Structure 1
Amino acid sequence: MSTVPSPPPPGRSGQMPPAGLFGAAFAEDPHGLYARLRAEWGPIAPVRVAPGVRAWLVLGYQEVLAVTRDVELFSSDARHWHATTTGWLPRDSPLLPMLGWRPALTRQDGPAHLRLRQAVFDALRRIDQQRLRRVTARDADALIDGWLRDGKADLIGRFARPLSALTFTRLLGMPDRDGERLHSLAGTVVDSAPGALAADQEIRASLLRLVAARRAAPAEDIPSWLLNGRTGLSEAELVHQLAALVLNGLESTTNLIGNTLAYVLARPHLLADLAAGRSTVSDILDLALWAEPPLHNAGARWATSDVTFAGQWIQTGDMLVLALAGANADPAVHHGADPRTPTASRAHLAWGAGPHACPARDPALLVAESAIERLLQRVPALTLAVDATTLAWRPSPWTRALTTLPVHFPPAPRPEPDPDVTPPPARGTQDAPRKPRATNWAWWNLDV
């Protein structure tokens, strides 16, 4: 692989691309930026992913498919990135936890990737889907009980975020109390925010301790399944597969729940369709995954040789960012229909495509669907407390995440629990909100 003295800037006449995938302006209207770039450049456009850090943003639906499927020309291995091979990118860049090389399935190609992906698939397949659905519904009930009488709530801070944290700590075999810290660290990393390197190191250190504990005392959880898998992962590989699941799964599950709720609450006719049985929560999830996928931009792929692609000259080592939300809005995909009102199909790119498509799609969808169904059953009269256009989003190049989702609803006492989902409260505790019970490491040890 050849290197260059400094990273060649994507764009005309070597000028710095003006568009940046960061900051408050981008967070407020990423879709507007994608549309402007498409109008000016077509299916691939020069951007910055941080001040001074250049990349190509792949906006075309077919072009995203082409990049994800051609791992020989567009590698997931960050060691091809000229910004790191030349030393141009500082070693303390907050981009590195998301974009730098690591021995994880997200940053490998070929046989190495297949081996790691198989190990993760084998572990995820051992999750008891029905039990996960029941545990999610029970935890959703416990969280709802905490604010049902208030008549208002923040569905990010008091529902989507703690629910996802509980789910992941249990699947990882970690104590419930560690969930919020893990979520906070993951958010810092996926936002490429100051402190991302330290957050990534803390995540890996906690996972290293977890792996050591599971070597000594295996349990029924993902770390133990990876340890005892047939692929024989090294300690570093074990930690980095778990880190990849945390970074890609924890935030995405929270944002899948939050973004879907924001989408449906801003469109009362969708709530009416749900109530009338004309659609399902699964349908609504797909609509939201077209419009606001939890991962707007997937980083990244690197060109392994010079090539003309989608009308642009791509040089060896150039980074290509996959605009999943931008590609979902590609007019060519919608055949003249308004891309802002997609149909409930599963042809969206929210989960990626090709060999590196998200391996945890099914568990994430199951958790989100169970959580949203339970919420809408328990609190059917939810309304946004602010105009949908004023909702605040985190300024991340990669994830699409609400800071809050304030809602109103008629205050109500906690209804009698569904015996198929949660056990009845003990005598004398009918008025006390249920709390998620602490786990004894394995999540399915819960009495559900």
Structure 2
Amino acid sequence: MKSNFFNNIATLSLGAGISQLIPLVFLPLLTRIYSPEQFGVLALYIALVSIIGVVSSGRYEQAIMLPKNDSDALALCKVTMVISLFVSCILLLLVLSLGKEFALFLGNAAIYPWLYFLPISIVITAIIQTYTSWFNRKKLFRTTALVRVVQSSSQSVTQVGVGLLAYPGLIFGQIMGGLVASIVLLKNLKKKNWLVIKGASYKQSKSLMKKYNRFPKYGIFGAISDACAVQMPILIITRFFEATITGYFSLTFRVLSIPATLLSSALSQVFYQKVATAHLEQPDKIAPLVIKIALVLFAIFLPIAFLLACYGDMLFVYFFGKSWQLAGELSQILVYAAGIRFIVSPLSVVMSLGENLKKAVLWQTLYLLTVSSVLIIFSTEDIKQLLIAFVVHELVLYSSYFLLIYFTAVSIGKKTKCAV
């Protein structure tokens, strides 16, 4: 049983690692094919898909793992797809009627023709989220790992191929990657599963929606808050700066997220396993474990921070080309924000223990409000001043989150001692 558990983690981690490495291998080529402005449009498109897509299926995809029988789980798959199709139709009507005005409001008119593809991306996102949950339910982790690799490889190859033909292919490649992944997922569904989905009645679907209504009721706000908080810098920078600046920022943050992308998921899983075990056997060991892991993460990121802080501009020119020097200069500022995120984010699993999720949600809400305020207030300054303010905000908020996590771990240990 334990062997299967770790094999599943290894399979998912390997798939995630390969799927993240593929775009990174192609990135130096893409930065020489496409301009910073085009990367800025891509970043804005991804931000919109991320915010809308996270709630496009009513969060019911989160419930697919829960029903006792597969027929109810497959009926929930149908529910999520119907909701996402409805949301996509509404979105298409909004784009048709207000697309130009919305593009101007966002601050980048070049996004306008791509807004028509948003409904397609939303449906694709829903398919991937829904059927990934289904395959995870059936413990078919190799399929979900394969899908991630197929998505990233088809996306990267399309972006390079279309770009070499002198066509705008960044967003097109993004869409194609998701489309290919969706096709692979749907093709792997068994025929009998398709029959169950097709045969799910309105009465059954309505009953399941009512039974699991806590997911849209309590999950949508948190999901939107989280997505908005992550994408807020892109939205604000696009609104108040040129598309070129958005492109520089997006590439910089993408590069700075590499350590977290490659290590954070695996570290979170290992740390969560250790914390969960300690919670049952030695709760007073959780707080020292938090400090220990934080120090390990600090030691991992320290040489990366030193290299980028001192030589970021030169490294970016070497790897991505001369037109990306400013992105390298921005990396010398943003590296501190990326560092504290890298250290603190994997530790947040502590907040899932006991009755501590409310504290995490409160911090998340505070973060969204403060990051939005800081970015808007400093939007009249030049980009470097804005990013310095952003970095200070990240250091303060994530330091407070670390303290919240640590003292939560301490209180868990004390409560258990008192109970004994």
Bin for the TM-score computed over the shorter chain: under 0.3
